[in-house]
Amino acid sequence: VVRGFSSSAVRNVVIKNVTIIGGGQMGAGIAQVAASTGHSVTLVDTSDDILKKSIKTIEGSLKRVVKKKFADKPEAGEEFIKKVVQNVSTSTDVESAVQSSDLVVEAIVENLKIKQDLFSRLDKLAPPHTIFASNTSSLSISDIASSTSRQDRFGGLHFFNPVPMMKLVEVIGTPATSQETLDSLLNFSKVLRKTPVSCKDTFGFVVNRLLVPCIMEAIRLYERGVYACYYNSDASKEDIDIAMKLGAGHPMGPLELADYIGLDIINSVIEGETKDPNNPLFNSSDLLNKLVAEGKLGRKTGEGFFKY
């Protein structure tokens, strides 16, 4: 699996065994694409109930993939699903889960201290060659990596929701990330049949730096009632979404997309510690805060800007 490494310099890590920490939407999606491309995946979360739900999510998504890919061969499709699910084992014991891991991808709650604590523990447990990566969308990779003694083998792997459909992976290197680690992460992304782009460790990387201001501007337009116009104020949310779908070719309107991503996640991006506080593009919104406080987090809770 690993060719020629010493404890100080790691070269050419071929990633076969992948540990994904966090079985939510993103973690389950990453596990699915890694398992679908022949990796041996261990999905870790804090309870068996959560992990059962993650496997259900993976099975549901695989059914949608197979419907298209194996349209004429339903049996081969069933076989494919079985094989992929067999490639995923689940665990609530992070200690044993990282012992033979080539790559750890973390997709847990967006909290710097919790991520640092996790990685500092894993650093002592994982083999020297293991690469650590975070799927964070709002925190600095350098800050997370600083809790470990393997900053050269630490990077960002930022996936997009829904992971099985979205072709992009942002691969983030810090000034301490080695070229070998970056190459391994770029290569891993390609093996997943995704297109990687290299990003510096800056706030929002590329996609969220551009997409989240668009979503926040849409929320502000709605809040200001710009479209609660002359005769039909009820349609204002829909109008904003229709405008961006039909006028800019976006697959989802910004408010529908906010619900899809999760309003709590949008909030955690705009509250990111590394943002420029003088940049108004990332200012908070009373309406967004109100919805989050009411537990209306979007599609996952049945209500956000829209009801599901």
Catalytic residue among 158, 256, 267, 268: 158
Q: 106 catalytic, yes or no? A: no
Q: 158 catalytic, yes or no? A: yes
Using CB under 6 A, pick the residue from 133, 139, 182, 257 that binds ligand 3HC. Answer: 257
Q: 208 catalytic, yes or no? A: yes
Instruction: Report if residue 64 touches ligand 3HC, rule: CB under 6 A.
Output: yes
Instruction: Report if residue 165 touches ligand 3HC, rule: CB under 6 A.
Output: yes
Beta bridge partners of 173: 200
Catalytic residue among 87, 134, 135, 137: 137
Burial (Cβ within 10 Å: 0-12, 13-18, ≥19) of residue 48 = exposed
Contact 21, 108 (CB under 8 A): yes
Among 222, 205, 206, 216, residue whose Cα is nearest residue 258: 216
Instruction: Report if residue 218 touches ligand 3HC, rule: CB under 6 A.
Output: no
Instruction: Report if residue 189 touches ligand 3HC, rule: CB under 6 A.
Output: no
The annotation status of 116 as a binding-site residue, yes or no, is no
237: Cα separation from own chain's centroid? 27
Among 184, 194, 56, 52, residue whose Cα is nearest residue 129: 184
Q: Which stretch binds ligand 3HC (CB under 6 A): 85-93, 162-170, 171-179, 214-222?
A: 162-170
153: Cα separation from own chain's centroid? 20
The annotation status of 300 as a binding-site residue, yes or no, is yes
Q: Which helix (H) or strand (E) holds 131?
A: strand 131-134
Q: For residues 63, 87, 144 and 121, what is the CA-based torsion angle, rounded to 10 degrees? A: 140
Contact set for ligand 3HC, span 40-59 (CB under 6 A): none
Binding positions for ligand 3HC, rule: CB under 6 A = 61, 64-65, 68, 137, 160-162, 164-166, 208, 211, 251-252, 257, 261, 265
Residues marked active site are found at 137, 158, 170, 208
